[in-house]
Structure 1
Amino acid sequence: MPDGREVDQSELLGVAKDEERARSLLRALRTLSTGPDPKLREMARGVLRGDLTAEQAFTDPEYTAALFSGADKIRRAGEQRTDAEAREASERFGAWQEARSAEDEHEGPGQGPGEGHGQGQGTSRSDVGTRTAPPQPSGPWRHSGPGGLGGPGGLGSSARH
């Protein structure tokens, strides 16, 4: 970010509707801002800098096409994996949640914009013991099948509600 400013989760409440989804959307934008897709990097960086609102990003035809293309690739990969691969992925996700939760407890509350970049907003400790698979996606991707964007990063549950 040229001036070092990054939007905070409160600025994403217009599309996210609640604090948890806003945190999830912020994490997803941070992930996309360094990801392999140039169009999604451009979109995420624009939103994070405040040059583009989340509403504008999610209604722009080019960005929407890039999001759906990525979601479709994930859906197809999920449909093609075996039961053993699905179980292994679920176990890895559970381990990832535990590690993220441990980081969150270590970081503590009150992280400002840019502090703990991408950390301090994970799943609570109580969620880790009760959930080993990603939540069911909602929003426009809720019917996209296994591996939709409702997993880590939660675009499917955050982008439109």
Structure 2
Amino acid sequence: MSDGREVGQGELLGVAKDEERARSLLRALRTLSTGPDPKLRDMANGVLRGRLSAEQAFTDPEYTAALFSGADKVRRAGELRSDAEAREAGARFGEWQRARDAEREREEETGPEGRQQQDGASAERPAAHGGLGGTHGGLGGTQGLRGPGPLRGGPPRNRFGPR
């Protein structure tokens, strides 16, 4: 398909299994396509432009190594931050989650036509302060990298299914 257009959510359903995961994968690919790691930029742009299938990208040893390297850097950074920094990140993540949930509600009200127009990467992407490794169900597991935090009101939602 390498005709200059970007793949859509539907084209990622084979690897993502449902629309929400496909939407999340599309956002992640967009983020990686502009990130600092050249190998991940290449992989993400390849998938987004149709030069590479998602299945090929996620099974390629070089791309897999780059993904795990990035995740390891996030894990180490989370381990090195102070408790105050962890609480602050948790609060920012909570704010981001509320904004994301409000955006999803607006998308549900506008239907598929409005969703396509509003489906920008910035609606799902945490700000530059980093959203990974807080007290959510991301890379740090269901308890975050620092264990359960006082800012949460119940178990986190895990969009990626049971572990």
Give the number of the structure whose alpha-carbon radius of gyration is greater: 2
- Residue 6 of structure 1 is matched in structure 2 by 6
- Equivalent residue, structure 1, for 2:145: 146
Percent of residue pairs bearing the same amino acid type: 67
Q: 1:54 to 1:142 in 2, by over 3 A?
A: farther
Q: Does 1:84 align with 2:84?
A: yes
- Aligned partners of 2:135 and 2:145 also within 8 Å: no
Which AA in structure 1 matches 2:94? G
Q: d(CA) in 1 for partners of 2:28 and 2:63? A: 14
- Quote the Cα distance in structure 2 between the aligned partners of 1:30 and 1:73: 20
Q: 1:87 to 1:43 in 2, by over 3 A?
A: same
1:67 lines up with 2:67 in the alignment = yes
Residue 44 (1) aligns with residue 44 (2): yes
Closer, same or farther: CA 135–81 of 1 in aligned 2, 3 Å? same
**What residue is the counterpart of 1:118 in the other structure?**
121
Question: Are positions 1:93 and 2:96 aligned together?
Answer: no
Q: CA 1:21/1:116 → structure 2, altered by over 3 Å: closer, same or farther?
A: closer
The code of the aligned residue for 2:24 comes to S
Gapped regions of structure 2 (runs ≥ 5): 126-133, 147-159
Q: 1:120 to 1:10 in 2, by over 3 A?
A: farther
The answer as to whether partners of 1:109 and 1:120 remain within 8 angstroms in 2 is: no
2:31 is matched with 31
> Alignment partner of 2:111: what SS?
coil
Residue 69 of structure 1, CA deviation: 0.6
Which ranges in structure 1 are unaligned for 5 or more consecutive residues?
Answer: 123-131, 148-156
Q: How many residues align?
A: 136
Relative to structure 1, the CA distance from residue 136 to residue 39 in structure 2 (aligned partners, 3 Å threshold; closer, same or farther) is closer
For residue 118 of structure 1, report the CA deviation from its aligned partner.
Answer: 1.9
d(CA) in 2 for partners of 1:39, 1:115 = 29
Q: Using the TM superposition, name which of 92-101 and 32-41 deviates more.
A: 92-101
Report the Cα distance in structure 1 between the residues aligned to 2:5 and 2:54, rounded to whole angstroms.
Answer: 16
What CA RMSD, in Å, does the superposition of the two structures yield over aligned residues?
3.3
**TM-score of the aligned structures, taking structure 2 as reference length:** 0.68
Q: Which amino acid aligns with 1:46?
A: G
